[in-house]
A and B are shown apart, each in its own frame.
Chain A
Amino acid sequence: MAYKVKLVKSGYNVLTDNDPDHIVFSSDYDTLKYSTFGSTQLTVNYGDYYHSEPSGFFGSDIYYHRKVVEVTHGLGYVPFFVGYFEDYPSSGQDVQLPVYAADFLSFAALQCYADSNKLYFVYYAGLENTSSGSVTYDLKYRIFKNDLGL
């Protein structure tokens, strides 16, 4: 006889009900195994743009920016992860990445990805007439032990 651990929601029969929607926990199914959570910051200095070109409209140039911040997890495999952008004080929410924004001439993207050693937060943007000043984005991350197999 195989042994397992199984917990069902109130009102369901643990011996007969195998509907995953009725199960709180079952050793038949893998679960997310939380490992680490934390925060970091990404600061973009607009003077460090890597390319600029006329937008096509008089007096308007587009400046292209890219910045990467790294979190070394050192797990040796690509883990399940989630990244968040703290949208304060605008919406007051932690927004799950990726985040994209655009208007007629400008665009900006904030996303995250991982390899077997690091988690990367990447900002890239093409902004109208933005070649000075800076902005800092507050980021949060969650890394799980689960191997994505990527």
Chain B
Amino acid sequence: MIVFFNKTTGNIEGTIDGRVHTDDQLKMWIGDPAETDRLVINWEPVRYFNKAGELLDFEAPMDERYTADYEPQHLQKELWVLFDSHPRLLKDYEVFTGISGDYLLREKENI
């Protein structure tokens, strides 16, 4: 998912849904580029399985990998897992800048 938000208020102005984003999607923008920024959440494989469904070593050769489990690459990955299946819940959140400079989510006050 890619989330576009107002840099001043943190209000989320739009999204591009999905787990892995194409070049076309990364060229997109929602809102005024002077006022908004974006948070790109890509999902990456964390476990591989063979055709029998058996867990493989993460470094197993490509031809043994039949499928994979994916997880979002972000500090708040549990939230992004929730939004993946319930995207409407994202409306209750806003973006802020954490201590380390990362973009993070928090629940809006007075929803």
Contacts and interface: CB of A to CB of B under 8 A. Distances in A.
A28 B104 CA distance: 48
B93 interface: no
Best-surrounded residue of A36, A74, A75, A138 (most CB of chain B within 10 A): A36
B24 A41 contact: no
Best-surrounded residue of B30, B88, B91 (most CB of chain A within 10 A): B30
Counting chain A residues whose Cβ lies within 8 A of the other chain, the interface size class is 10 to 19
Interface stretch (B11-19, B41-49, B50-58, B94-102): B11-19
B91 to A, nearest CB: 7
Given A35-B22, A36-B24, A72 B29 contact: yes
A72 B30 contact: yes
Interface residues of B, number: 20
B73 interface: no
A39 B17 contact: yes
Interface of A: 35-41, 69-75, 86, 138, 145
11 contacts: A35-B25, A36-B16, A36-B18, A36-B25, A38-B14, A38-B30, A39-B17, A40-B14, A40-B30, A71-B29, A73-B24
Top 9 A-B residue pairs of the complex, sorted by shortest distance between their CB atoms: A40-B14, A38-B16, A72-B29, A74-B27, A38-B15, A39-B15, A38-B17, A71-B30, A37-B17
